[in-house]
Amino acid sequence: MRDELAVRDALTRVVDGLTSLRNDGRFDEPNLDGTAGDYISFQAWEWPQGVGLYGLVRLWRDTGEERLRTLLEDWFAAHEARGLPSLNVNTTAPMLALTLLWGRTRDPRWEAMLSEWADRVLAEMPRTPEGGFQHDVSDKINDGELWDDTLFMVALFLAAYGELSGRRALVDEAQHQFLVHARYLADPETGLWFHGWSFPRRDNFARARWARGNAWITAGLADLPELCRLDPAVARFLDGVLGAQIAALLPLQTAGGAWRTLLDDPSSYEETSATAGIAYGLMKAARLGRASPEARRAGRRAVDYVLGQIGADGVVGGVSYGTRMGQDLQFYRDIPIQPTGYGQSLAILCLAEALNDPEAR
């Protein structure tokens, strides 16, 4: 891995690149309520921005930089003033960052917002059979569908806020979501995760072992025990799920340190956001004794790849645009490349974790 100064310099640039993102009109994705969807601009409230904020709050908690706290507080204050969007899986994503901000500051401005949103998730979010959260988003109802993205966008928020607020029922719900999603999305044949499951179809769509979806799982499983106290049996089960996934991921890393957008398809392109998210999960799990030294080394190789994708302006390249459920594998190969908030954020998480590695100091 490149030296610590290079990583710190890249982190500063990636934060600047995140906050400077603007929608250039390339993608027209109107929401169900008639409003324009904006999945790129930093100031919009959606899932890419929510993941971006998670990277910022993690970096703030690691470094204590006051400019990051101010940036976060200003972002949430502006949205509170103008009113929050409709509740769905993806609009829940920013609540994880707000939870971690509130957990550190205990600023009373945020408690009512968090509590009300958590209550509404439990009461209003549509469910699939077996109680999974149906992956409904701002521009589409996905009837009877489970997606691996949901765990990162919703379950981590419930786990973190439930723990910090003393509401164990929220943690229990988060645990249930991880269990039911693992039942239908974790592929027992390979250890990797499929993108989605349809109860009406009773299948995994294209059976795509999609890289960023797997990154949500690697990173999410690495973070979950830190965000809440898991029941011992659940913790043991999820450690096994993570171990099986990591064992499958390691042989699929490319010679350059990346993972491809379809993990097991050599014809698909190398993808930076997934590489960063997987690397973050591998390094963190190894640091906490939940993964092998080999996993740590794979994560360090991926750090070098991610650094090579960061432009002088701090914008992370090689990131695939938001990916709907594909009906065939070619759909994933054809997803366009576009800088996004989650690309920036997953790079932030990856680089910040690289600095936490005791063997790199």
Burial level of 24, CB count in 10 A (0-12/13-18/19+)?
Answer: exposed
Question: What pLDDT is attached to residue 4?
Answer: 86
Instruction: Note the pLDDT tens digit of each residue in 275-289.
Output: 999 999 999 999 999
What's CA 111's distance to the chain center, in Å? Answer: 23
Report the distance separating Cα 314 and Cα 299, nearest Å: 21
Share the mean pLDDT of the chain.
Answer: 94
Mean pLDDT of 332-340: 94
15-24, 146-155, 225-234, 314-323: segment of lowest average pLDDT:
15-24
CB atoms within 10 A of CB 20: 14
pLDDT tier at 32, thresholds 50, 70, 90: low
What is the average pLDDT across 42-46? 90
Contact 348, 319 (CB under 8 A): no
Share of residues in the chain with pLDDT > 90 (%):
85
What is the pLDDT, as a whole number, of residue 270?
Answer: 98
Report the distance separating Cα 164 and Cα 160, nearest Å: 6
pLDDT per residue as tens digits for the range 157-216: 999 999 999 999 999 999 999 999 999 999 999 999 999 999 999 999 999 999 999 999
Q: What does pTM read for this prediction?
A: 0.95
> Is 244's pLDDT higher than 90?
yes
Nearest alpha-carbon partner for 209 in 302, 89, 329 = 329
From 72, 33, 27, 31, select the one nearest 49 (Cα to Cα): 72
Domains parsed from the chain with CATH numbers: 1-356 (1.50.10.10)
pLDDT for residue 309 is more than 70: yes
Average pLDDT over residues 1-14: 86
Across the range 71-97, mean pLDDT stands at 96
Mean per-residue pLDDT for 87-101? 97
What would the two tokens of residue 220 be?
A: 């999410």
Q: What is the pLDDT of residue 165?
A: 98
